[in-house]
Amino acid sequence: MTTTLLIASTNQGKVREFYSLASGLKLELVSMSDIGPMPEVAETGATFAENARTKAAAYAVSSGLITIADDSGLEVDALGGRPGVLSARYGGDVPFAEKMRLILDELRDVAAPARTARFRCSIAVADPSGRIVCEADGVCEGTIAQEPFGEGGFGYDPVFVPNGYVETFGQLGPEVKDSLSHRANAFLQIIPYLRGLT
């Protein structure tokens, strides 16, 4: 019998990445849109790890399924680590194009060498009782571009240039992003646990 794993996200970009990252595993992946409406879980933690644990546990109990959740965001050194855990809510309830513009405006007087940043991701897996059974953290270091470039990816991808590249995540294809992203780095650490489920 195949084990079912719920991806606790309504963000279709994240869901696509999880499907891609888990493609070699013998698991049946389902997203929240596959199982119907569920109560929203507030992300009130002070860290990405706290939010990932809270979401994984709550959605596992609600669904009765083993559940994987993540919380991730952008940390910009010249902004004291902002937007950090507030990445999705930075600048209020506005499209990501406006959130990116806000960050670029805040960095307008910051020279390229000081525009260092990272994407950080925390992943948690919970069993159907809500017990956290596996956790991992991943980071992708880079810099913030002068302007958004590219239509690919989602969120802040068009302004983030990973170290070793000259193009943003918005310009790089999903295969490249999936090989080096913060989410990929965290996911690789939990693969041994997920393989044990099959």
Give the separation between CA 86 and CA 140, rounded to whole angstroms: 18
Under DSSP, is residue 71 helix (H, G, I), strand (E, B) or coil? Answer: strand
Amino acid identity at 5: L
Under DSSP, is residue 155 helix (H, G, I), strand (E, B) or coil? Answer: coil
Question: pLDDT for 22-75, tens place per residue?
Answer: 998 999 999 999 988 888 898 899 999 999 999 999 999 999 999 999 999 999
Q: In whole numbers, what is the pLDDT of the chain averaged over residues?
A: 94
**Residues 191-195, mean pLDDT to the nearest whole number:** 94
Number of residues assigned to the chain: 198
Whether this model's pTM surpasses 0.85: yes
Q: How far is CA 197 from CA 66, 112, 128, in A?
A: 10, 45, 13
pLDDT of residue 188: 94
**Residues 150-174, mean pLDDT to the nearest whole number:** 94
Which residue segments constitute the domains of the chain, with CATH numbers given?
3-195 (3.90.950.10)
pLDDT at 192 over 90: yes
pLDDT at 168 over 90: yes
pLDDT of residue 174: 86
**Residues 113-117, mean pLDDT to the nearest whole number:** 96
The shares of helix, strand and coil residues in the chain, as percent rounded to the nearest 5, are: 40, 25, 35
pLDDT of residue 10: 87
Question: pLDDT for 122-159, tens place per residue?
Answer: 999 999 999 999 999 999 999 999 999 998 888 999 99
**Residues 5-31, mean pLDDT to the nearest whole number:** 91
Whether 90 and 82 have beta carbons less than 8 Å apart is answered as yes
Strands (E), the chain: 3-7, 27-31, 66-76, 116-126, 132-144, 160-162
pLDDT at 198 over 80: no
Output DSSP code: residue 54.
H
Just list the catalytic residues: 71
Selected residue with higher pLDDT from 97 and 153: 97
| % of the chain at pLDDT higher than 70 | 99
pLDDT of residue 183: 93
